[in-house]
Structure 1
Amino acid sequence: AELAHRAEELGFSTLWFRDVPLRDSSFGDTGQVFDPWVYLGFIAARTSTIALGTASIAIPLRHPLHTAKAAASVDQLSDGRLLLGVATGDRPVEFPAFGVDPDQRGDVFRENLDIIRRAQRTSFEPLQWSRGLLAGADLIPKPTTNELPFFVTGNSRQSMEWIARESSGWMTYPRPPQAQQLFVESWRAAVREQAGETYKPFLQSLYIDLDAH
């Protein structure tokens, strides 16, 4: 909480929160210890202006209505500061634990994301998908905007054209500068083709170790 407050004072734009539900000792890093939605609520209450981003919610591992409600709740309670990064998940131990076929996670990702978006922007509209039916009820709260800005992480088993058309932006991984430039150019071309002049950012994760000395 102190670091979050300090980052806000120094003018950083966003704090990012990971979604790593299980510790896999063979994976190489622990990830984030706290549940992202609980952690976001905790930090939201101790900051006031800095944006709060998820990098990223593994939506095939979560029920889409729970995800939709949690995201809209954080967005409302933080006065519209949530940026929703979404992904398929990448730790092999997680998929059997949550009953998800890893070979189908791209399809589950796309379907769950569709339900999240529709549940947040409609009221009492019946929604049916392969694992559920919402009828005669409404999901509340709704987000502060018509739709939360969401950013696809990696390819999430989707085509670049789909990401350029459907998402608010693309979040990818560090690469050597010349290779990354090619990805940036490909992304901008896909956005022009799929979304015209709409601005959709290219985001790159980067770890920085802070040393007191």
Structure 2
Amino acid sequence: MQLGALVPFTDTGGDPSLVRDFALAVEAMGYDFLEAPDHVVGGNPATNAGTDPRRGIADDMFHDPFVLLGYLAAATTKLTFFTGVLIVAQRQTVLVAKQAACLDVLSGGRFRLGVGVGWNPVEFTALNENFHNRGRRSEEQAQVMQALWSQPYVTFKGRYHTIDDAGINPRPTSGRVPLWFGGHHEHTLPRIAKWGDGWMPNAYPPDQAALDIFAELRRLTEAAGRDPASIGIEVWTSCGQGAEADWRREIEFWKRAGASHICLTTTFGRRHHHRIAGRTIADHLAALKRYRAAVADIL
């Protein structure tokens, strides 16, 4: 299994030297990847609190993932990078395919594209996209991006996209950017089975429900004519509660369950996850160092 970490923007901010030093420290500790969240705009907390308080995220800082990860790829040598997740349905598909291909080339193939459909209508309104058909569009977006990555010229006529014998340059060296899906909607697993390289669930604790849903993903993948072993699974974990023995038991469970990637988040505090108490960059790095030391031999 690979072990990665989520950039703790909401605590540490986005100062360029701080973000770079964080990535270098994570790389030096032996982490395999660094994951960046995505929000283009956020609602005003004062006016959105009466609807869904999550809409009011304008006070939280998020660097654009492509710009951030391009910057960090130039500063590092071994870390791979991942969007966790890019809200692809609120963006132009061909532009995302181009940005992902460029990042793949400039990083030397150290990039995975994690995508999701989003949950905040405020962002879709601001970006002039339709919030209500985002799931259906994301299915077609996957097909369009994969065609543009693999073929020099593409002709495509779908429900939402038209390409008339055109292509992007550069294209990824391998002809493909690994495409992973986040989310837990009932349609997510069939989309992964048809077009995805992996799934990023964070809703399941280490129990039978996780084993059952992983088995369902493998069944759907096989039914789609693909090898279930080719589909990665990244689960999120946290270290704000429990101690080394607890963390080891959880990692051992995920390894037996077939997870390929573990992402440690020190700020996420929803569902069964618990954020750390500290807020400084030193607090986050200390937590990352302690966690990896506890589980490294199991990976």
Asked if these proteins are the same fold (TM beyond 0.5), I'd say: yes
* CA–CA distance in structure 2, aligned partners of residues 58 and 47 of structure 1: 25
- 2:139/2:191 contact within 8 Å kept: no
Name the SS of the counterpart of 2:176 in structure 1: coil
- In the other structure, the counterpart of 1:199 is 230
After TM superposition, the score normalised by the length of structure 1 is 0.89
Q: Report 1:123-202 matches (<5 A).
A: 123-155=152-184, 158-178=187-207, 179-194=209-224, 195-196=226-227, 198-202=229-233
Q: 1:11 to 1:46 in 2, by over 3 A?
A: same
Ranges in structure 2 where 5+ consecutive residues have no aligned partner:
1-19, 46-52, 238-264, 267-275, 288-299
The residue number in structure 2 matching 1:35 is 64
- Quick one: which amino acid aligns to residue 181 of structure 1? L
Structure 1 consecutive aligned stretches of length 4 or more whose deviation exceeds 6 Å:
none
Match of 1:108 among 132, 137, 159: 137
Q: Percent identity?
A: 25
SS in 2 for 1:40: helix
Q: Give the length in aligned residue pairs.
A: 213
Does structure 2 retain, via aligned residues, the 8 Å contact 1:59–1:109?
Answer: yes
TM-score of the pair, normalised by structure 2: 0.65
Determine if contact 1:87/1:156 at 8 Å carries over to the other structure.
Answer: no
Unmatched 5+ stretches in structure 1:
none
Of stretches 147-156 and 187-196 in structure 1, the one that deviates more from structure 2 is: 187-196
Instruction: Give, in whole Å, the separation in 2 of the partners of 1:171 and 1:182.
Output: 15
Map of 1:53 onto structure 2? 82
Indicate how the Cα distance of structure 1 residues 190 and 184 shifts in structure 2: closer, same or farther if over 3 A, else same: same
Alignment of 1:93-104 (within 5 A): 93-104=122-133
Which structure is higher in RCO with an 8 Å CA cutoff and minimum separation 6? 2
More helix by share: 2
Higher Cα radius of gyration: 2
Deviation at 1:88, TM superposition (A): 0.7
Q: What's the counterpart of residue 21 of structure 1?
A: 40
Distance (Å, rounded) in 1 between the aligned partners of 2:102 and 2:186: 28
Contact kept? 1:18, 1:31, Cα under 8 Å? no
Q: Is the contact made by 2:218 and 2:228 (CA closer than 8 Å) also made in structure 1? A: no
